[in-house]
Amino acid sequence: MTAPHEFDPQLLRDVAALPPLPGVYRYFDAEGNVLYVGKAGNLKKRVSSYFQKNHGGTRIGHMVTKIVRMETTVVRSEAEALLLENNLIKTLNPKYNILFRDDKSYPYLKLTGASSQPPGAAPAGTAFPRIAYYRGAVEKKHRYFGPYPSSWAVKDTILLLQKVFKLRTCEDTVFNNRTRPCLLYQIKRCSAPCVGHISPEQYALDTANAERFLQGQTQEILHELEHKMLAHAEKLEFEQAAELRNQMMSLSKVLHQQSMETDGKHADVDVDILAVKVQGGKACVNLAMVRGGRHLGDRPYFPAHVENATDMAALDADESVQTQPQVTGLKPASAAAEAAVVDADAANPPAAVPAPAGKSLEALVLEAFIAQHYIDVPVPPVLVCSELVDKTLMAALTGQVSYKVSAIHQPQAQRRLWLDMAQKNAALQLARLLAEEGSQQARTRALAEALELPLDNLDALRIECFDISHTAGEATQASCVVFKAHKMHNADYRRYNIEGITPGDDYAAMRQVLTRRYSKLAEAARNGEATLPDLVLVDGGKGQVSVAREVFEELGLDLSLIAGVEKGAGRKVGLEELVFADGREKVYLGRDSAALMLIAQIRDEAHRFAITGMRARRAKVRVGGSRLEDIAGIGPKRRASLLQRFGGVRGIAAASVEDIAKVEGISRELAGEIYRALH
């Protein structure tokens, strides 16, 4: 039997002094890294269970042996503990918690707010709200609808609103300078408020109807339009009646398509459908969204650290059926502390903790997603779930909003069809992920074998690749991309602006970027404070490799780390050869080689990252980074006047000196300066 682990006496005293109250606890290792964040209805009971016995060789056993410090926070209820726990999980990224991370924010549909200023006091465009795709922080002066699962769903909704209600989509700077209707008016996608083809009152009515459409009040809109059409017909106002008839036809067509998706039942206005699939140590949660009665599509999420969830759930299950434990080796910090604990026990009997015994891993993953996802995303009133969700979690979500949030586990009718579709998509997405990961691991092994790299820990294999990009020597930029753990890690990507070289000298650019990248890293590696990559790829042949060899010799680094990706005959894909800095012969891996596929993937990513950075830098050089204020004599007021007159920096750049000089406050001399700066 394995000998029990010896814990820090101070840690044991801290555990013994914990109160039997709801709260959140955090475990730390010797380096200060967060190992685990947990919640408890009874902190003393839950935390003590980690230290009362030998957990053997399980994952939780490995975790417990690393604990050197603990922090706890007492809260008023288990619902509060649950919310705080998941806020901390998203913030601290502990190794032993199921973690969902959003790769990007959700898109919204934005309806700009109408101006409250009197007519003439504000630009004309503010009286006619516009619809737009939006991603970012929301502002109170505008109205937002969503979130949507994808940008496609937002753009499709905008197209529907253009067809039915003909709301504008142009920027205010363009709107305020129109002298005739644009193409959208000609194809009946806009009512042309920019040139007065619709009154502010009628446009406001269309805007209000568009909002109601987004909220699912479609039948009410149809009835109102029908009454108004008949009223115009009775007054012999046939043109107005025809306009309303056309609008009703467009809306009816949209509703017909929508009823095909929802079987004609619109009782569900805002619903999220959540399905989970677990396989091969990985998990996928598929989130489908229904907003305003319309199914908007879905989006998959893949959590990290799923493999650790089983052991944690098993410990929680054991703890939930035990009585108050007497932990061996735990003593109260003092007699006063012991008395305080006893008093707290008497005044606050241990709260009933929902037992996770028998709870599936799928249910644990789904609950983790719900708790973390809806921290900063609006939660709809109904969640249709593939697994039974804990009532405490739903109570916590309800406590965050002003309405009841309910979870339906075994839905019927249309909800069942939605859930079946979400489950099928979750299974497909997870199968795709497993196939991709298996393929990537095979590619990593093939490359390691081909180049005789270490095979004992392929998960830790790190490859860095460099590329140079410029246009005829202009705006030279180098990129460094990183491949590790069988995938590209864009958080470790770096771009380097290359300065002080002869334009177009790729060798000098490569020398500069390698020196900047590895000079400090080499020193840190010698001191044991950093780790060098296992392979350094440079996009190029003998010339670039020779430069890399010189840099590595100057820094005292191992030349066997360097390999150049030399293009083959005719620069054809699949004919690339590897050139080495340590004198080895060239290697041709073969057109169908898995190793070559991986090298091409990394090389192409370095090229993509370099060229996008170069283009952005080139654009900044050519147009002043879209900052007119950088031009001497241009302040905020003159910049606003220029943008309002020409609709944007491109419009200003396309204007002549004479046109620029016609803007109020811009002299002929200043117009010349602006023209030269933008050209």
The rounded mean pLDDT for the chain is 79
Reply yes or no on whether the pLDDT at 53 is more than 70: no
Reply yes or no on whether the pLDDT at 4 is more than 70: no
Q: How confident is the model at residue 427 (pLDDT cuts 50, 70, 90)?
A: very high
Mean pLDDT for the stretch of residues 462-488: 86
Mean pLDDT for the stretch of residues 433-438: 81
Quote the pLDDT of residue 150. 79
Q: How confident is the model at residue 107 (pLDDT cuts 50, 70, 90)?
A: confident
In a domain, 295, yes or no: yes
Residue 357 is classified by DSSP as T
Least confident residue range of 403-412, 449-458, 612-621: 612-621
Q: Of the candidates 99, 93, 101, 98, which has an alpha carbon nearest to the alpha carbon of residue 33?
A: 93
Higher pLDDT, 306 or 570: 306
Quote the pLDDT of residue 244. 67
Reply yes or no on whether the pLDDT at 423 is more than 90: yes
Reply yes or no on whether the pLDDT at 19 is more than 80: yes
What span, in angstroms and rounded, lies between the C-alpha atoms of 383 and 149?
15
In a domain, 111, yes or no: no
Quote the pLDDT of residue 311. 63
Mean pLDDT for the stretch of residues 152-168: 83
Same-domain status, 156 and 240: yes
Mean pLDDT for the stretch of residues 330-359: 41
Radius of gyration of the chain (CA): 32
Same-domain status, 162 and 214: yes
Please state, for a pLDDT cut of 70, what percent of the chain lies above it: 80
Instruction: Count other Cβ atoms within 10 Å, centred on residue 343.
Output: 11
What span, in angstroms and rounded, lies between the C-alpha atoms of 662 and 666?
7
Mean pLDDT for the stretch of residues 24-46: 89
Higher pLDDT, 335 or 306: 306
Same-domain status, 617 and 631: no
Least confident residue range of 105-119, 165-179, 326-340: 326-340
Q: How confident is the model at residue 370 (pLDDT cuts 50, 70, 90)?
A: very high
What span, in angstroms and rounded, lies between the C-alpha atoms of 383 and 374?
11
Quote the pLDDT of residue 330. 46
- Report phi then psi at 658, rounded to 5: -65, -40
- Residue-wise pLDDT tens digits, 230-271: 777 777 777 777 776 766 666 665 554 444 344 444 456 789
In a domain, 352, yes or no: no
Q: Of the candidates 503, 498, 561, which has an alpha carbon nearest to the alpha carbon of residue 535?
A: 561
Side chain identity, residue 574: G
Range of the structural domain that residue 639 is part of: 627-677
In a domain, 26, yes or no: yes
Same-domain status, 572 and 600: yes
Q: How confident is the model at residue 366 (pLDDT cuts 50, 70, 90)?
A: very high
Higher pLDDT, 250 or 135: 135
Quote the pLDDT of residue 274. 95
What span, in angstroms and rounded, lies between the C-alpha atoms of 251 and 421?
27
Higher pLDDT, 346 or 168: 168
Reply yes or no on whether the pLDDT at 355 is more than 70: no
Q: How confident is the model at residue 346 (pLDDT cuts 50, 70, 90)?
A: very low
In a domain, 2, yes or no: no
Give the best-scoring range by mean pLDDT among 16-30, 101-115, 248-262, 448-462: 16-30
Same-domain status, 501 and 608: yes
Reply yes or no on whether the pLDDT at 383 is more than 90: yes
Collapsing DSSP to helix, strand or coil, 141 comes out as coil
Reply yes or no on whether the pLDDT at 625 is more than 50: no
What span, in angstroms and rounded, lies between the C-alpha atoms of 216 and 150?
19
Least confident residue range of 27-31, 221-225, 265-269: 265-269
Quote the pLDDT of residue 570. 62
Kindly report the CATH number assigned to the domain that includes residue 54: 3.40.1440.10
Reply yes or no on whether the pLDDT at 124 is more than 70: no
In a domain, 522, yes or no: yes
Same-domain status, 130 and 236: yes
Same-domain status, 275 and 416: yes
In a domain, 437, yes or no: no
Reply yes or no on whether the pLDDT at 342 is more than 80: no
Given a contact cutoff of 8 angstroms between Cβ atoms, the answer to whether 301 and 100 are in contact is yes
Quote the pLDDT of residue 442. 84
Same-domain status, 507 and 642: no
Last residue of a domain, one of 621, 636, 662: 621
Mean pLDDT for the stretch of residues 362-380: 87
Same-domain status, 613 and 647: no
Mean pLDDT for the stretch of residues 340-348: 39
Same-domain status, 412 and 557: no
Element (H, E) at 306: none
Q: How confident is the model at residue 619 (pLDDT cuts 50, 70, 90)?
A: low
Kindly report the CATH number assigned to the domain that includes residue 667: 1.10.150.20
Mean pLDDT for the stretch of residues 473-498: 87
Quote the pLDDT of residue 231. 76
Give the best-scoring range by mean pLDDT among 354-368, 467-481, 610-624: 467-481
Quote the pLDDT of residue 228. 72
Reply yes or no on whether the pLDDT at 325 is more than 60: no
- Report phi then psi at 353, rounded to 5: -100, 125
Same-domain status, 605 and 644: no
- Residue-wise pLDDT tens digits, 211-220: 887 776 766 7
Quote the pLDDT of residue 255. 52
Q: How confident is the model at residue 498 (pLDDT cuts 50, 70, 90)?
A: confident
Bridge partners (DSSP) listed for residue 134:
108
Sheet holding 131-134, edge to edge: 131-134, 108-111, 143-145
Least confident residue range of 105-109, 338-342, 424-428, 439-443: 338-342
Report residue 255 as tokens: 């509703």
Tell me the C-alpha to C-alpha distance, in Å, between residue 625 and each of 72, 522, 618, 628, 632.
Answer: 48, 35, 9, 8, 15
Q: Of the candidates 533, 527, 530, which has an alpha carbon nearest to the alpha carbon of residue 563?
A: 533
What span, in angstroms and rounded, lies between the C-alpha atoms of 339 and 221?
68
What span, in angstroms and rounded, lies between the C-alpha atoms of 42 and 383?
29
Kindly report the CATH number assigned to the domain that includes residue 526: 3.30.420.340
Tell me whether residue 437 is exposed, middle or buried, using C-beta atoms within 10 angstroms of its C-beta: 0 to 12, 13 to 18, 19 or more. Answer: middle
Given a contact cutoff of 8 angstroms between Cβ atoms, the answer to whether 78 and 39 are in contact is yes
Mean pLDDT for the stretch of residues 266-278: 82
Q: Domain count of the chain?
A: 5
Quote the pLDDT of residue 5. 62
Mean pLDDT for the stretch of residues 197-205: 87
Q: Of the candidates 17, 9, 6, which has an alpha carbon nearest to the alpha carbon of residue 44?
A: 17
In a domain, 371, yes or no: no
Same-domain status, 520 and 476: yes
